[in-house]
Structures are given as C-alpha cells and as structure tokens.
Structure 1
Amino acid sequence: MKKQEYFQGQHRKRRYFEGWYFKCISADRKHAIAIIPGMAIDPQGQKHAFIQVINAVTGKTWYHHFSYSEFLCLSDDFDLRIGNNRFSATGLDLNIDTHEGLLKGCLAFRDIHAFPTTWHNPGIMGPFTFLPMECYHAIIHLYHELQGKIELDGEILDFDGGVGYIEKDYGRSFPKTYLWLQASHFDSSNASFVFSRARIPFLGREFPGFFAYFTDFKDIKVRFATYNHSKLANWQVDPVNRTCSGELSGPAGTLSFKAQMSGGGTLRAPVDGLMDREIIESITAHVSVRLVSRHSEVLFQGSSSEAGMEICL
C-alpha cells in the first residue's frame, strides 16, 4: 500500500474527492489560517480542482476553483500542483490573484514530526484503512515549524517561527455526522492532540467509531481507537453551545478532554464527489487535555488555543 499522503485517486472516474489540509498558526498567534488544496469528481464524472482558505481571525473563507487540467499530483511522492501553486511535505508556494481573491507567498516547513506509520498500521485509521469506507482520514504531519510570509487579500501574514499541521481526507463523502478536534498549541509544552468520532457506514449498517492520538514529541505517544479496543466514556457534545467532552481509556491509560468551539467559517465538503455541503470549521477553539497512566500518574495536563474543531450532527 502506498503512503496515504500520496495521490490516491488517479484511476477514479466519478463520485470521488481528495483534499489535503494545511493548518498554519503564527508565533504570536495573531494569524491562523487553513489552506485546503484538492480535487473532486461528481456523479456525472465532471472533475475540477480547488484551493479552499479559511481565515480564523475574520471567519472569511475562499473557494478558488480550477480546471482539472491544472491539477497535477504524483502517485509516488507528496508533490501537489494546482495552477501556479505547489504543496509538499517541505513547504508550499502560493500564487493566486483572481476575482475570488489574492493569495501569494511561500512557507517552508522545519522540525517536522510526521505521524508514525508501519506496513500493518498505515495511518490513524489502523486496519480500517484496508476496508471499503466512504471516507479515509490520514494525518501527515503532527507538527512542524513555519518560515515565511503569506499575503491574503492585501494583508501580510508573518508565519516565521509559527507552527503547522497537515492531514488529508479522500473517498466518496464526508461522514453524515462527525466531530473533529486538532490541537498543537499547548500552554505547558509542545504537544499534539487529534480526536474524531463519526457514524461510519459499513456493509449496509452504521457503527460509531473514533480515534485519538496524543504525543508530547518526547516520551509520550498514545493512541486510542475503536480498533485497539479503547473505550470512550462520559461522551457529551452540545451543538448549540458548541462544546464536547469525553474520557478515553485504553492500554496506555486514560485521557480526558474538553473543547469549546470559537468563531468559525463556512467550508465546502464532499457528498458523492459534489463539493456542495457546507460545514462550519473553527481554528480558534480551546481544548484541554489530561493524560493519566494506568498507575494513576499524571503524564500530561495542559490546554491549547488555536485548535481546529468541527461539529456536524
């Protein structure tokens, strides 16, 4: 199986999407944006490429539409080009100036912490990666440092010394109901936390599935997931007040978390390859995490701002 960050959809004819998610937070936390390049094929086989952008400070979003002929992505390397824009594991180059808006600049990625993979456990979805699913999720970089500047509709955003994160989704449709969290700006130390829970259709039925991963990039690397017999207890989600909380328990111990969504902008999401579903995403959410070992030792406790969060119920 080839690496999930590589392009998976070169032989798809219809009902398919693939998108890479680049989150960028400045060192002073005054700037927070997400850039999402990708492609989609609708049920009739019509293809197009896109670059979505969300500005966390203003909540404004952009959907830059491209002809599919401008989409070039290697199937054996993480190297994506859409028009005059390029995205890879080591950085991104942006050059958009149309009636939809302006997006220009270059960012380089340093001190990269990639998500750990093995041949039998190729990503965060574990063995589900090998099964027929409507949507596959992959984490590429848990953390990297940023160098460079971006001009967004006339405003210069300085990301020198900032922090970034990369993930991707591919398949037919996003889950009908799901919640997603991602945090990497913890007050106590560098760390990364990712959590998602969704109703997953499979062989004509549905089941609730979840995964979570936490690391301090030193000694702690813990995974909680449906497929490794972890449990999610005290699960609460309030779509009105935009909060969630839960307690994960597994072989590594117990991780409790709380999250509060803040602000947000409207992004397009796929349904059968059609990019016409609207979802609200925040990248200024607040997340708190407490990790306790099986012997009741507190391994980590901290909170993060500028976290990503989506609630779709």
Structure 2
Amino acid sequence: MGNHFRGWYFKCQSPTQTLALIPAVHTCRGCQTSSIQVVTEKEHWNVPLSGKGCLVRWVRPQASLEENRFSPQGIDLHLHSDHCHVEGQLRFGPPTPLPHDIMGPFRFVPFLECRHRVFSMRHQVTGQLHINGTPYRFDHNLGYIEGDQGRSFPRRYLWTQCLFPDCSLMISAADIPLGPVSFPGVIAALSFSSKVIVLATYCGARIISVHNGKITVKQNNLLLAAELLSDQGRPLRAPQGGSMSQTIRENVSCHARYCLFQRGEILWAGESRQASFEYEYPS
C-alpha cells in the first residue's frame, strides 16, 4: 500500500475538562509503527508504540495498540512511557451518526491525499482516566468521534469541532490536491434541534474567506461562520507521507464563536471556551 496512515480522534468533554485521544497506525518505507496521542487543555503527549500486532480499523473506530483498546463502546487504556502514564476506562453511549458519509461522492475518488470520516457527532461518555496522576472524570458527559486515513494531512487546512448542550458541529476546509492541480474543499455538519445540516463542496458549498483563524462558508441560502477567539495551541504530530513527521498546533479546548445564517437571519449561534480548533493556513 506504500506510505499510509490511519487514525481516529476521540474527544471527551465534561463541563470542566476536555480530552482528546488519537490512536493511529502509520506505514512509511515498508515499516509499520503506531502511536497514541493524549491531548489535554494544558499538555500533550505523543507515545510511539510498536507496529507489531497493532490494529486500527477504518469501517468503525476500533483500535488495538498493545494493551490499549478503542471501540465504539468505549476505551480501555494502560499506556505508559517515560513522560506519560494513563490508566482507566471510559464507556460510550449510542453514537449519533450523520445520515450519510461526510465525504459524499468524493469517497469514491481514488488517490486522495486524505479521507475523512465522522462516526459520531455526539454521544454520552462515562468513566475515568488518570493522566500522570490527574483524574479526568466523565459522568454522562459529551463525546465526539471522527477519523482520517491517507498519505498526508493537507498542506493548508482549517478544522474545528465543538460540542454544545444543544448542538454538535464540525468544519473541515482544505486545499485538495488532485494530480497536478488543487482546489479548495469544505465539509461541515451541524446537528441540532433533531436535524442535521450539511454544507459541502459536493453540495455546492464554497469558501468565501479563510484567514486569521476565521472561515466563512456559503451554500445556497446558508452562511456558516467560525472564528477562533483565543489561540493556545499545543504541538500535535500529524502524518506526512505516511509517517508522523509533521507538527501542527491544535487547540483542544479554546474560545471560539460560530454562527449559521439562513437568508441573512440567524438560524443558530454559539460561543464556547471548549472548542477544538486547528488552523494551518498562512495569515
């Protein structure tokens, strides 16, 4: 298969704590390795693991990396390195999937640099993890699961996700290379009031502007805007040519504002200090 990566992003959020766990497998020049990244509001750890016997599936968020297990039903961690020690168990409630694949018809396009999958827009999280002695407790709180696989993360992209009591949203915008050319692509989903709204390039959505941690997307009579209000990003390892050799900055819990307009009227708006935000567009 050549240089390749596959990983899942598990976000868990209580009213006072936010945590992201990223199990991944990566193959570069015929050598397979794996890793688990642990991201909190203040710290980040990348724990390299052996590729022997590791498993990360794509159809569903299932991973088995040494003594660590990830599944749609929960997570069991026994992760220990020189700098990071994580023990505990989390259990998930039923997922809230999107009505169709977020990639739309692009899921059939071969040789894409990166493919995206949203498994659950929101679900309940219950349990406890101890990270270097600090307890992360969740009692019927909120979770989100998505995944990526391919060769590399895009050179320029914006990604954000936020869980509100009444809404869950994600936005991903990037330069998409296709052979010798590239084009700006966007996928976004909002789940609120028992409805799901999807904005995507394959539905006619286009990026109106993206700069300085702000993005505006228009699709027919809908206008979606997101803005990063505080930047305290932590370094995060990301794939480049199959290996985890790229460094990006992620805000796993930051201050951001979102607004969805329909025909110029506010359909939904929210502001949170627990938003997740990655921004790799030059200013």
Range of TM-score over shorter length: over 0.9
* Structure 2 partner of 1:120: none
Q: Secondary structure at the match of 2:95?
A: strand
Q: Secondary structure at the match of 2:186?
A: strand
Q: CA deviation at 1:116?
A: 2.2
Structure-to-structure mapping, 1:148-297, within 5 angstroms: 148-185=127-164, 189-218=165-194, 220-233=195-208, 235-238=209-212, 243-246=213-216, 248-251=217-220, 253-294=222-263, 297=265
Q: CA RMSD in A?
A: 1.9
Q: CA deviation at 1:111?
A: 4.6
* Structure 1 partner of 2:38: 53
Task: Name the CA distance, whole Å, in 1 between partners of 2:59 and 2:143.
Answer: 23
TM-score (norm 2): 0.92
Letter in 1 for 2:182: E
Task: Name the CA distance, whole Å, in 2 between partners of 1:39 and 1:271.
Answer: 13
Aligned partners of 1:261 and 1:284 also within 8 Å: no
Find the partner of 2:105 among 124, 127, 144: 127
Q: CA deviation at 1:225?
A: 1.3
Aligned partners of 2:11 and 2:143 also within 8 Å: yes
Letter in 2 for 1:237: H
Percent identity at matched positions?
32
Aligned partners of 1:91 and 1:108 also within 8 Å: yes
Task: Name the CA distance, whole Å, in 1 between partners of 2:226 and 2:260.
Answer: 9
Structure 1: segments with no counterpart, 5+ residues:
1-11, 118-122
Question: Residue by residue, what CA displacement relative to the aligned partner does 1:245-287 show, whole Å, maximum 9, x if unpaired?
Answer: 32x3324633333232431211111111121111100012223
Task: Name the CA distance, whole Å, in 2 between partners of 1:192 and 1:107.
Answer: 20
Equivalenced residue count is: 280
Structure 2: segments with no counterpart, 5+ residues:
none
TM-score (norm 1): 0.84
Residue 252 to residue 304, structure 1, CA distance change in 2 (3 Å): farther
Q: Secondary structure at the match of 1:197?
A: strand
Residue 251 to residue 151, structure 1, CA distance change in 2 (3 Å): same
* Structure 2 partner of 1:83: 66
* Structure 2 partner of 1:301: 269
Residue 256 to residue 67, structure 1, CA distance change in 2 (3 Å): closer
Task: Name the CA distance, whole Å, in 1 between partners of 2:72 and 2:7.
Answer: 14
Task: Name the CA distance, whole Å, in 2 between partners of 1:217 and 1:83.
Answer: 40
